[in-house]
Structures are given as C-alpha cells and as structure tokens.
Structure 1
Amino acid sequence: MRRHALELVEDPQRISASSAFHLNLSSPKIISGSRLERVLKSGRFAVTAELNPPDSADPQAVYERALVLSTVCDAINATDASGANCHMSSVGICALLTRAGYEPVYQMSCRDRNRIAMQGDLLGAAAMGVKNVLCLTGDGVQAGDQPEAKPVFDLDSMTLLRTVRVMRDHGQFLSGRKLDVPPKVFVGAAENPFVPPYDFRPLRLQKKWEAGAEFIQTQYCFDVPRLAEFMKRVRDLGLHEKLYILVGVGPLRSAKIADWMRNHVPGVHIPDEVINRLKGAQKQVAEGKKLCIEIIQQVREIVGVSGVHVMAYRQEELVAEIIEEAGLLPRRPIATAEVVGVPV
C-alpha cells in the first residue's frame, strides 16, 4: 500500500522530515543560489522588505514599488493575500519581479490551495526564477473582507515546509512520483515571539526547523525585551546556529493606528509604552519612524539575530528611508538583469 511522503517513516522513497532535512548552517554550501541565502551564509546582516501587492492588473504598480526597495534590501517579499484580503497574487508578483531581475521571497499560504495546487505553484515559481519561499499557514478567512470564502487548509506551515523539502531534497511529489528537475529554493517560515504562550514559541520554532525551515521572518517587533527573552531561549536550544532569524520591524504612523493594529491585526503586540510615546509626540509620523530605527539598532545587538524584515503598508519610500537611516546601507542592488520594457 502506498504510504504518504509526509509520514515520518524511514524509507528510501520517503525519508523522515524530522531528521533527514537538518542542514549544517555553518557549511558554506549554497543550495538555491539566492542572494538572500548567500548574504546570510556569509555572515552579513540581511535586510528583506515587503512589497504591498496592488489591487490592480497593472504590472507598473509592482515595478514602481519594487524599484524603491531594490537598492536597500536583499530580497523582496511578495505577500499571499495577507489578512485574507484579495490583491494581486504572490506568484504573479514573483513573475514580474524575476522578469525585472529582482529577487523575491515567494510567500505561500495554505488557506486557499490544496497540496496539489501548492506543489504545482512551487514548480511554476521555481521555473520563473524564484529562489526563496516562505511557508505560511495563513490568516483565517474571517479576518478578511470576504468572510464567506471557503478555506482549504489541506496543509499547514509545518507540512508545507516538509512538502517543499521533499520536493527539493528528494526530487519527488508527495505521491512519491519523481520530479525531472526539483525546485532549488531557500526555505523559510514565520514565527511570532510576541504573543503567548511565550514558553511554547521557541519550541514551535524548533519544530519548524525540524520540518525543514532554514530561515525565519518574525511578526512585527515593538517589544525588544520580549524579543531578547525569546532569543535567549532560542540560544539555549542551539537554534541560533541552525536557523537564520530575521526580525520583523515597521513604523507606526500614529498612536491611533497603533491602537487599531494591536486590536485588529492578528498576532500584533504593541506595548502601552509605545502608544503613549506616540501620543506624547508632536509629530507622530516622525516619532514612529524614529522608534523603528531604534528597534532595528537594538535588535542588531541581540546574539542570534541575522537580519531584519521591514514592513510598512504601501510606504515603500519610508521603508527605504528607515533602512538608510538605520545604518544598513550600502547594499549591492538586487537587480542583475536588464529586460526590454521593464524598469530595473
């Protein structure tokens, strides 16, 4: 009887994801060839940024936003209907970015597709030149503006990680059918150190490593002491030597927006002192930017942090300013190809 490739079995066709997929992160071996992987494995502090997808079929909107980010970060995240709200698809954005010579991080959410679709999408993305993938469970449909949509969740982030590693490292679909050419991608996942149960978060991170994650991008950090405590436990488990951890950061434009975010955006934790600081500022936008820069500088000093992931909804210019003023430049531009008719 055929056994499923996600089962933790010792079999030549289906090798245990909990043991066989561990990598020695001190090794200089490059798997995907991506710039992000090369930067992290060289020991340099990495910077990624999020490109907010347009509500449009016009590719120019993507190119304009990517151009702003291209010289200030090592890879650009293409979000996958985050918050369960519909925008241009992440695979579509990745196609445009790779066409222009930029390096995307392809976010894959399990909410909207089953395993058949996700395996096919991964192959298609890799064929277009995508070299980084971020495996996410995804926000529930009730969080978005179409709560009547039917969720899928055939896989979750753990099983999606294993799926990608089965395809990449063992050259096969979950059915056991062989791939002619496997996708060579750098595999990432998300983690949130800032919401309870705090003691469970490092253990969950370990499970994601065991499932195949090689790099991590965290939820927004507005609480550096909480991050420091999380990273202490991460170091106790030795995970800082097995995973590259990029801490999520972003500016808050006002105390009102900050209060709304912590009450409505899943997984966002903003301490009272941060909101009070914004309330007391004459220029709250400038204060939010200053706070973000301070957080970046503080997290750089935490042992085990390998980079930052900068997020600001439809504020790519502000992201570029923050990265520059935080002392994270110069960075070599991501774009490496000249494509006729496409701005790079």
Structure 2
Amino acid sequence: MKELKSGSNLEKVLNAGHFAFTGECGPPKGANVEHLNEKLNHLVGVVDAVNMTDNQTAVVRMSSIAGSVLMMKKGLEPNFQMVCRDRNRLAMMSDVLGAYAMGIRNMLCLSGDHTSFGNHPEAKGVHDIDSMQLIAMVKKMRDEGKFLNGEDIDGPPKLFIGAASNPFGDPFEYRVFRLAKKIQAGVDFVQTQCIFNMEKFREFMKQAVDMGLHEKCYILAGVTPMKSAGMA
C-alpha cells in the first residue's frame, strides 16, 4: 500500500485496491438547499465520495465549497470540483485553502465549459492557468507547502488530487498522452467522461496500460444511467 497523501475515504478505498464508487451532485441554482439535501440523501451509504460540481455547463449555481460542506453534514465525502474558467490563481489558491480548512480532502481540477454554453454567455472566461497548471499548483501547495510564487504556506492543504479524462475526444490517438501529462503534473486519480463506446474505451485503456499509466494513478470509469429514451 502507498503512503496516504490526504487520508480521505476515497484515497483509502483506492489505496487498498478496492473498486471505488463515486456519485455526482450539482448545487442548486439558488440558496434553497432542500432539493440538494433530498438528492444527497439518496447517496448516503451508497458511494465512497460524491463530486460537487462547480458551475457546471457554465450555469450559475451555489459554490462547490458550500455544497461540499452541506454534503459533509450528511456524512458524505465530497470530491470538490474547481474549474479554471471562473477564477485567477489568487482566487484558486484561496479557495483551495478554504476548502481544506473546512474539512474537504478530495479535489477535481477541471478546465470548465465555455461560457457561451451557459446562462451568462457574455461572461468572460478567466483561464489565468489551465487544468494542467492547476493540478501542478495544488500539488506544489500540498507537497512543498509553497504558493505558486514560492512563498511558504502556513498549513499546506493535503488534498487527494483528481482530474477528468476524455477517452473519446478527437484526435483519439492523443487522448492517452493527455492523460500522461496530467499524471506528470501530479494527479492522483482521474475520472473519465461517461462511457458509451466500449470498444474505444478498451483501446484507450490498453494504451494506458501499455504506457504503465494505470500504475501511476487511479482510473475511475464514468458510467451514467439513462434518464430518458432521448438521452439514449
């Protein structure tokens, strides 16, 4: 077994060689948390951790940190998401420290959907740093106890660092190399996009195994239930 980096439940499950189950929950588009609590109740005792999304699809919602704290009150472990679209590096580092201080131990580093897809298409995307740089920044904060400028951190955030991986994007032959770059940047685990093409996913995993990437980070395959015939 590897030495634990965060001590989170998700990390412990994966480190022990078990099959981990995670869920996902979006915060409300408002301050009313009644429906959020209803959704979280369905996940209690069922999953090892739950993704709390960060303004997914560029739609304004309650913050991921607030949603994660509400989740912990239910006894669930959050996988706190952060996108590069909405914050510069100062705000990102500030939120990383705040999330850790509130008891959050897992983090998913993402680029974020373009604002043109959301409910404020005129909003400017920040993208001060990209998802690769975000991963490296959080790793530096955790492992070296340093801010991006090299200054010391009084209490480093010991987070289990995650990222997303899309095995199906074009050009397909570059997908596994992008995963390798995220691992090199410092990611501990990845969650793939939802899998609808098993043949392509098998090929992606074969390439990842051939490169030894499965031994350098945990790979969680994305599965989603069909909510309607139209979704299928």
TM range (shorter): over 0.9
Paired AA for residue 182 in structure 2: K
CA drift at 1:254: 3.1
Q: How does 1:243-258 map to 2 (within 5 A)?
A: 243-258=217-232
Distance 2:58 2:47 in 1: 26
**Which letter does structure 2 place at the counterpart of 1:185?**
L
* Aligned residue identity for 1:239: L
Confirm or deny: 8 A CA contact 2:109 2:161 kept in the other structure.
yes
Where does 1:135-146 land on structure 2 (aligned, <5 Å)?
135-146=109-120
The CA distance in 2 between the partners of 1:154 and 1:148, in whole Å, is 18
Q: Which residues in structure 2 correspond to 1:56-75 (within 5 Å)?
A: 56-75=30-49
Which secondary structure does the structure 2 equivalent of 1:87 belong to?
coil
The match for 1:154 is 128
- Deviation of 1:251 after TM superposition, in Å, equals 1.7
Query: Residue 171 in 1 paired to residue 119 in 2?
Result: no
Corresponding position: 1:33 with 2:17:
no
1:231 is aligned to 205
Question: Secondary structure at the residue paired with 1:30?
Answer: coil
Q: Alignment RMSD, CA only?
A: 1.1
Cα offset for 1:153? 0.4
TM-score of the superposed pair, with normalisation by structure 2? 0.97
> Aligned AA for 1:151?
G
Q: Which of 50, 55, 73 is residue 99 of structure 1 equivalent to?
A: 73
Q: 1:85 aligns with which of 59, 73, 84?
A: 59
**TM-aligned CA deviation for residue 243 of structure 1:** 1.1
Map 1:146-295 to 2 at 5 A: 146-258=120-232
Cα deviation for residue 58 of structure 1 reads 2.2
**Residue equivalent to 2:50:** 76
Equivalent position amino acid for 1:180 in 2: D
Give the superposition deviation at 1:89: 1.3
Distance in 1 between residues matched to 2:167 and 2:54, nearest whole Å:
22
The alpha carbon displacement at 1:61 in A equals 2.7
Q: Deviations over 1:140-173 (max 9, x none)?
A: 1011121101110001110000010010000011
User: Shift in Å at residue 46 of structure 1?
Assistant: 0.3
CA apart distance, 1:137: 0.8
Q: Is the 8 A contact 1:167 1:183 kept in 2?
A: yes
Q: Point out the more displaced range, 100-109 or 213-222.
A: 100-109
What CA deviation, in whole Å up to 9, does each residue of 1:29-57 have, x standing for no partner?
11111000000010000000001221221
Counterpart contact for 1:137–1:155, Cα < 8 Å: no
Q: 1:255 to 1:97 in 2, by over 3 A?
A: closer
1:157-213 deviations in Å (ceiling 9; x for gaps): 100000100100000111111111000110000010012111100000000000000
Task: Name which structure has the greater RCO, CA cutoff 8 Å, separation 6+.
Answer: 1
Contact 1:36 1:74 in 2 (8 A): yes
CA contact (8 A) 2:26 2:56 kept: no
- Per the alignment, residue 337 of structure 1 pairs with none
In 1, the alpha carbon distance for the partners of 2:72 and 2:24 equals 15
Deviation at 1:234, TM superposition (A): 0.2
User: Structure 2: which 5+ runs fail to align?
Assistant: none
Aligned residues: 232
TM-score, length basis structure 1: 0.66
Q: SS where residue 128 of structure 2 aligns?
A: coil
SS at match of 2:51: strand
Q: Displacement, 1:256?
A: 2.3
Q: How far apart, CA to CA, are the structure 2 residues paired with 1:250 and 1:99?
A: 25
- Give the letter aligned to residue 247 of structure 1: A
Q: 1:255 to 1:102 in 2, by over 3 A?
A: closer
> Could you tell me how far apart the structure 2 residues matched to 1:115 and 1:99 are?
29
Question: 2: distance between equivalents of 1:207 and 1:218?
Answer: 15
Q: Distance in 1 between matches of 2:85 and 2:94?
A: 16
Amino acid at match of 2:138: V
Q: Show CA shifts across 1:205-229 (max 9, x none).
A: 0000000001000111011111000
